[in-house]
């Protein structure tokens, strides 16, 4: 049996959406790790610029996770009911939304950094602000790390009602 006979268009689409979903998740996590490693009081121009760009990558990847996740639930996954009846799925959604909500504070902060950066100035980042951002990013990382754990439990049928 050749790959061409196994790889039907439907399987290719499903695999493509899953791939985008997983890759986007990894990009989100990587962006958060970069942000966490770079956060410090009064960053230099390069560091502040990288933080702003990294947060843009994070936002785009988070949107791709959301859209590909919706496509998987509606069209390319195990069937909509598999997800919607499972409380672990809703925990995953809740964690994703919580992390997204938490990320608003750093994102708004970085957007505000772009204003002085465009003027050739450096953003004013106090020790307290750097510490607050670091804590928020730590919480985001823990939340994001739990999502694939819940997914592995779901893939094994945990949380599904008895048949």
pLDDT grade for 154, boundaries at 50, 70 and 90: very high
pTM of the model: 0.91
The full set of domain ranges for the chain reads: 11-155
Span 24-56, pLDDT tens digits: 999 999 999 999 999 999 999 999 999 999 999
State yes or no: pLDDT of 2 exceeds 90.
Answer: no
125: left (phi over 0), alpha (psi -120 to 50) or beta: beta
Per-residue confidence (pLDDT) for residue 143, from 0 to 100: 97
pLDDT-wise least confident of 6-15, 98-107, 144-153: 6-15
User: What are phi and psi for residue 128, nearest 5 degrees?
Assistant: -65, -45
DSSP string across the chain: --HHHHS-HHHHHHHHHHHHHHHHHHHHHHHHHHHHHH--SS--HHHHHHHHHHHHHHHHHHHHHHHHHHHIIIIISS-HHHHHT-HHHHHHHHHHHHHHHHTHHHHHHHHHHHHHHHTTPPP---HHHHHHHHHHHHHHHHHHHHHHHHHHHHHTTTTPPP-
User: Taking a C-beta distance cutoff of 8 angstroms, is the pair 58, 31 a contact?
Assistant: yes
């Amino acid at each position: 049996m050749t790959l061409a006979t196994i790889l039907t268009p439907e399987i290719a689409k499903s695999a493509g959406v899953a791939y985008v979903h997983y890759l986007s998740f990894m990009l989100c996590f990587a962006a958060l790790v970069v942000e966490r490693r770079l956060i410090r009081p009064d960053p230099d121009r390069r560091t502040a610029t990288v933080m702003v760009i990294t947060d843009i990558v994070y936002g785009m990847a988070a949107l791709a996770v959301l859209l590909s996740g919706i496509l998987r639930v509606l069209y390319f996954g195990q069937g909509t009911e598999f997800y919607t009846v499972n409380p672990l799925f809703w925990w995953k959604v809740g964690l994703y939304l919580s992390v997204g909500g938490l990320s608003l504070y750093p994102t708004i902060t970085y957007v505000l950094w772009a204003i002085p950066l465009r003027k050739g100035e450096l953003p004013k980042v106090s020790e307290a602000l750097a510490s607050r951002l670091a804590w928020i990013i730590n919480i985001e990382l823990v939340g994001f790390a739990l999502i694939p754990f819940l997914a592995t439990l779901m893939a094994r049928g945990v949380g599904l009602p008895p048949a």
